[in-house]
Amino acid sequence: MSIYPFLCEKILMPAADIATRNKTMKCYDFYKQSQWWGRQDLKKYQDQRLLETIQIAYNEVPFYKELYDESGVDIRNITRTEDLTLLPIVSKDQLRNNYPDKCVRDSGHSWSEFCTSGSSGSPFAVRVDSNTMSQARALMLLRANYSGWEIGNPFLQTGMTLHRGIVKKVKDLLMRVEYVSAFNLSDRILDNYLQLIEDKRINYVMGYAGSLFCLAERAEQKGFNREMKGLVSWGDNLYKHYRTKIEKVFHCGVTDTYGCGEGIQIAAQCGMNDNAYHIFMPHVALEIVDDDGFPVKSGELGNVLLTRLDAGAMPLIRYKVGDIGRKSSAETCCCGRGLEMLTKIEGRDTDVVLTPNGNRLIVHFFTGIFEYYQSIDTFRIIQDKLGEITVQIVPRSNFNSEISERLIKEIKNKGDSDLQINLEFVEEIPLEKSNKRRFVVSKLAKGIETTL
């Protein structure tokens, strides 16, 4: 470890934690160590955390008490993660209907509310306390660590909001992150990002898979030939052709990761095996179940259920996040980590919308907007021709024409003022095969993408 990363990890970041009353680095140290524990020890730790989480949820959160009482569950029978199957599955709709009064608790920590459209495309609010945030941030550091990146190494990150408060700005400075927008991915902006990478001698790039792909495509067109050390992707699906292009252009591997906007970091690839995503077991218990809620065998495709092993301000227990995945049947990975593995996460399939002025709108462009529209149940974007999109909306009862206008205006302002937007109201948006939801569907010929 060279001097600055050492200083940053051991002194500056812990000092920042003290100043902001967070425990990110304490959690990071723990996750960094515990990932190497044997499977038995990890399981034992999970079971302890589960016991505590269920008890708190039952005793302090009316939603869980009512749910478990109604379904006749005696929570004393839940002592191991295998017992989770005795508990009912919790849907986004159930939580939404009971939020906030019945599904939150006072954890003794400060909290924030996050809106997410998550994987189901349905806006949804969750309350996350500072303790849970510390855990999630620590795991964001750990997932980046899997690419070879160390705290203190400069990196470029694409994100959805550039409004970084003073605390985040100080942390950005310490972490040497160049935080750039993924809202605008036109050629001119992508050229600026590539220039920034050159000028600041940046070796790592992190962000939404779609934005990394757009950056790689532009880098190839420009003949960018700087060798990078690692890229970390999240958010939308890292398609095989995305990975191939990014790895070829930047001459390094891509570490794909899996998390959700509900304050849970779930898994990351270790770099030894593209098909293995290590599940962050001390933080989350992950189940894969069939449509009737029964566990499927390792290696079989099913619905992802998450139990965050920390009650926090809003416990999430057997929470159906809306993704489809399969657990790996392999017991061990050649990297030596004891963490269980997922082979693949599906359900985040998406395309990129191209606008008349050359902007590229990735799925997070849309989810970043729609998550603040609580009057919209689900949405889908369809692009049939360049310059035009159809936004399919399943409205809730409080939707009105004023909201339609505001939505169109926001997409135009943030994306491209020349983009024609047609709203289409529908009763439901059918899932694609294997229960996948595709938020952004482009029917443009693939050739158009490269001619822009």
Contact criterion met (CB below 8 Å) for 301 and 240: no
In the shown chain, the binding pattern of residues 29 to 68 toward Zn ion, with x for contact by CB under 5 A and - for none, equals ----------------------------------------
The residue (of 151 and 270) whose beta carbon lies closer to Zn ion is 270
CB of 269 to Zn ion, least distance (A): 8
Residue type, 63: F
Dig out the tokens for 4 from the structure: 């600055």
Distance in angstroms (rounded) separating the CA atoms of residues 24 and 224: 36
Rg, the chain, Cα only: 22
Q: How far is CA 194 from CA 48, 226, 232, 450, in A?
A: 47, 10, 16, 18
In the shown chain, the binding pattern of residues 264 to 283 toward Zn ion, with x for contact by CB under 5 A and - for none, equals ------x-x-----------
Considering only 50-58, 188-196, 336-344, 399-407, which stretch makes contact with Zn ion by CB under 5 A? 336-344
Considering only 99-107, 143-151, 216-224, 328-336, which stretch makes contact with Zn ion by CB under 5 A? 328-336
CB of 341 to Zn ion, least distance (A): 7
CB of 39 to Zn ion, least distance (A): 13
CB of 146 to Zn ion, least distance (A): 8
333 binds Zn ion (CB under 5 A): yes
Distance in angstroms (rounded) separating the CA atoms of residues 239 and 218: 17
The residue (of 333 and 389) whose beta carbon lies closer to Zn ion is 333
311 binds Zn ion (CB under 5 A): no
CB of 98 to Zn ion, least distance (A): 38
For 107-138, give one letter per residue: b (16+ CB within 10 A) or e: bebebeeebbbbbbbbbbbbbbbbbbbbbbbb
The residue (of 18 and 272) whose beta carbon lies closer to Zn ion is 272
Distance in angstroms (rounded) separating the CA atoms of residues 271 and 106: 39
The residue (of 12 and 333) whose beta carbon lies closer to Zn ion is 333
CB of 154 to Zn ion, least distance (A): 26
Q: Which residues are within 8 A (CB) of 298 and not within 5 positions of it... i.e. 6 or more apart?
A: 326, 327, 328, 329
The residue (of 278 and 318) whose beta carbon lies closer to Zn ion is 278
330 binds Zn ion (CB under 5 A): no
Q: Which residues are within 8 A (CB) of 267 and not within 5 positions of it... i.e. 6 or more apart?
A: 257, 258, 277, 278, 279, 280, 286, 341, 342, 345
The residue (of 213 and 280) whose beta carbon lies closer to Zn ion is 280
Size of the site for Zn ion (CB under 5 A): 5
CB of 136 to Zn ion, least distance (A): 21
User: Among residues 324, 384, 372, 380, which one has the least CA distance to residue 348?
Assistant: 324
The residue (of 127 and 337) whose beta carbon lies closer to Zn ion is 337
The residue (of 290 and 331) whose beta carbon lies closer to Zn ion is 331
β-pair partners for 116:
124
Q: Which residues are within 8 A (CB) of 442 and not within 5 positions of it... i.e. 6 or more apart?
A: 351, 352, 353, 354, 382, 383
CB of 21 to Zn ion, least distance (A): 34
The residue (of 43 and 337) whose beta carbon lies closer to Zn ion is 337
Q: Which of 170, 296, 335, 408 binds Zn ion (CB under 5 A)?
A: 335
The residue (of 246 and 333) whose beta carbon lies closer to Zn ion is 333
Contact criterion met (CB below 8 Å) for 136 and 144: no
Considering only 183-191, 334-342, 379-387, 419-427, which stretch makes contact with Zn ion by CB under 5 A? 334-342
Identify residues 164-203 at the interface with Zn ion (CB under 5 A): none
Contact criterion met (CB below 8 Å) for 212 and 242: yes
Distance in angstroms (rounded) separating the CA atoms of residues 414 and 365: 9
Instruction: For residue 312, give the DSSP letter.
Output: -
CB of 295 to Zn ion, least distance (A): 23
CB of 243 to Zn ion, least distance (A): 17
Identify residues 74-93 at the interface with Zn ion (CB under 5 A): none
Q: Which residues are within 8 A (CB) of 11 and not within 5 positions of it... i.e. 6 or more apart?
A: none
Residues that bind Zn ion (CB under 5 A): 270, 272, 333, 335, 337
